[in-house]
């Protein structure tokens, strides 16, 4: 995973600088265009044919011969047992590893299963003693969130890739838009106002009935949440919470950065009935605050009564939360806040370590209007 530091100017009456560590190249969204919303019969085995090529690979591989490709057949039974065979040809060199990973098209993610070869690297299969997919991973398979990745010496991150898509899922475009203004955040100490920039953040499609995995555990923040909530730094999240994906490049921009008034992030997910969306984005003029869905499972429904959700999300369905990792200063002025602090992860410890809404912690903030608008658009 490549990362770098990016400096940028925030919005407001003063010019403020701060630095975020940002993951590069994690936000294109050229998902495929499968359709249909039905979960398959859980008692059946599903089989999928997959084409692997360099065009799906992230980052873009180097020195790939013309015609480098692969084909695979993969089956998942009702218990999550995976059977798969992958054949590869015309690679730059012998394939060194082949894995099934978890991430949507256009993203990279962690290894789920490692394959083995008996013929020196031309044909790979899932070994008989490989662990079965968990219920959560079966959900990832159904929504098209698993992929084959073939590694070579010349392309250690991967030379050819093939997304495994059973064709069960609906694709949704998710838009997070900053609708704050110069007058949104009241600064009582000097009787001024500021806008509320929002940071790159994380999202996850999941089926957990009780809570978004992004927010677990609830008695203290995971490392991914702490980094986003304090510094807008998305880098630790995917390792901290498997299945996490990142949004970081504003619409119309070519590089990662925050969004001020009028700015937006967009990303595409695939989902099947019963899947939900969790997300977090930093309330930047704070020590450790973020917006996230705030209903019983901290997630937005993507289907209701089996039908894809469409339109603007009710503003009551998300709210400002506190990660419980840094003591709170006055929003928009605190010396330990990301816009002014000397280094990331700087600030006094939070006396209340709970991951909870401001309301739930007995806290509040003075805003003159809304900051975030969320829109869900199913793709035809």
Taking the least distance from each CB to Ca ion, the nearer of 89 and 220 is 220
Count residues contacting Ca ion (CB under 5 A)?
A: 11
Residue nearest to Ca ion (CB): 347
For residue 273, CA distances in Å to 43, 45, 49, 279, 306 come to 16, 18, 23, 18, 6
Contact track, Ca ion, 223-242, x by CB under 5 A: -------x------------
For the chain, how big is the Rg over CA atoms in Å?
22
Alpha carbon distance 126, 144 (integer Å): 19
CB-CB contact of 332 with 368 (8 Å): no
Taking the least distance from each CB to Ca ion, the nearer of 48 and 198 is 198
The DSSP code for 333 is T
How many other C-beta atoms are found inside a 10 Å radius of the C-beta of residue 5?
Answer: 10
Region near Ca ion per CB under 5 A, out of 147-155, 200-208, 213-221, 334-342: 334-342
The reply on whether position 170 binds Ca ion by CB under 5 A is no
The reply on whether position 350 binds Ca ion by CB under 5 A is yes
Residue with tokens 């590694």: 151
The reply on whether position 329 binds Ca ion by CB under 5 A is no
The reply on whether position 322 binds Ca ion by CB under 5 A is yes
Instruction: Report CA torsion sign: 161, 166, 171, 176.
Output: negative
* Cis, peptide link before residue 225, omega less than 30° from 0: no
Taking the least distance from each CB to Ca ion, the nearer of 275 and 350 is 350
The reply on whether position 378 binds Ca ion by CB under 5 A is no
Contact track, Ca ion, 238-277, x by CB under 5 A: ----------------------------------------
The reply on whether position 283 binds Ca ion by CB under 5 A is no
DSSP conformation letters of 132-180: PPPHHHHHHHHTT-EEEEEEESS-TT-SEEEEE--S-PEEEEEEEEE--
Binding Ca ion by CB under 5 A: which of 109, 195, 347, 378?
347
- Record the tokens describing residue 234, joined without a space: 């998305």
CB of 210 to Ca ion, least distance (A): 24
Region near Ca ion per CB under 5 A, out of 41-49, 59-67, 138-146, 335-343: 335-343
Taking the least distance from each CB to Ca ion, the nearer of 76 and 196 is 196
| Per-residue buried b or exposed e for 197-219, using 16+ beta carbons within 10 Å of the residue's own CB | bbbbbbbbbbbbeebbbbbbeee
Footprint on this chain of Ca ion (rule: CB under 5 A)? 230, 288, 322, 325, 328, 336, 341, 345-347, 350
């Amino acid at each position: 995973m490549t990362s770098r530091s990016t400096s940028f100017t925030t919005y407001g009456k003063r010019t403020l600088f701060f630095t975020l560590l940002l993951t590069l190249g994690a936000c294109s969204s050229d998902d495929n265009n499968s359709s249909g919303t039905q979960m398959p019969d859980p008692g059946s085995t599903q089989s999928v044919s997959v084409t692997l090529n360099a065009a799906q690979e992230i980052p873009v591989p180097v020195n790939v011969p013309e015609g480098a490709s692969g084909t695979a057949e993969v089956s998942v039974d009702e218990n999550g047992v995976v059977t798969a065979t992958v054949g590869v040809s015309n690679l730059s060199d012998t394939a060194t590893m082949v894995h099934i990973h978890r991430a949507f098209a256009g993203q990279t993610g962690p290894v789920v299963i490692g394959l083995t070869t008996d013929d020196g690297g031309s044909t790979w299969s899932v070994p008989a003693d490989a662990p079965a997919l968990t219920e959560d991973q079966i959900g990832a398979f159904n929504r098209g969130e698993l992929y084959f990745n073939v590694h070579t010496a010349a392309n250690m991150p991967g030379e050819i890739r093939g997304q495994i898509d059973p064709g069960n899922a609906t694709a949704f475009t998710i838009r997070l838009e900053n609708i704050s203004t110069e007058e949104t955040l009241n600064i009582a100490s000097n009787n001024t106002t500021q806008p509320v920039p929002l940071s790159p953040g994380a999202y996850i499609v999941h089926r957990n009935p009780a809570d978004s995995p992004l927010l677990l555990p609830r008695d203290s923040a995971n490392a991914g949440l702490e980094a986003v909530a304090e510094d807008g730094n998305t880098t630790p999240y995917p390792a901290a919470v498997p299945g996490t994906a990142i949004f970081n490049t504003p619409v119309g921009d070519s590089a990662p950065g925050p969004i001020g008034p009028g700015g937006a992030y967009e990303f595409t997910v695939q989902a099947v009935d019963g899947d939900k969306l969790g997300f977090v984005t930093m309330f930047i003029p704070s020590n450790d605050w973020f917006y996230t869905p705030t209903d019983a499972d901290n997630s937005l429904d993507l289907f209701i009564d089996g039908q894809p959700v469409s339109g603007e999300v009710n503003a009551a369905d998300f709210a400002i939360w506190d990660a419980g990792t840094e003591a709170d200063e006055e929003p928009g002025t605190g010396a330990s806040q990301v816009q002014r602090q000397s280094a990331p992860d700087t600030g006094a410890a939070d006396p209340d370590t709970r991951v909870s809404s401001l309301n739930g912690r007995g806290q509040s903030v003075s805003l003159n209007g809304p900051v975030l608008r969320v829109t869900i658009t199913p793709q035809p």
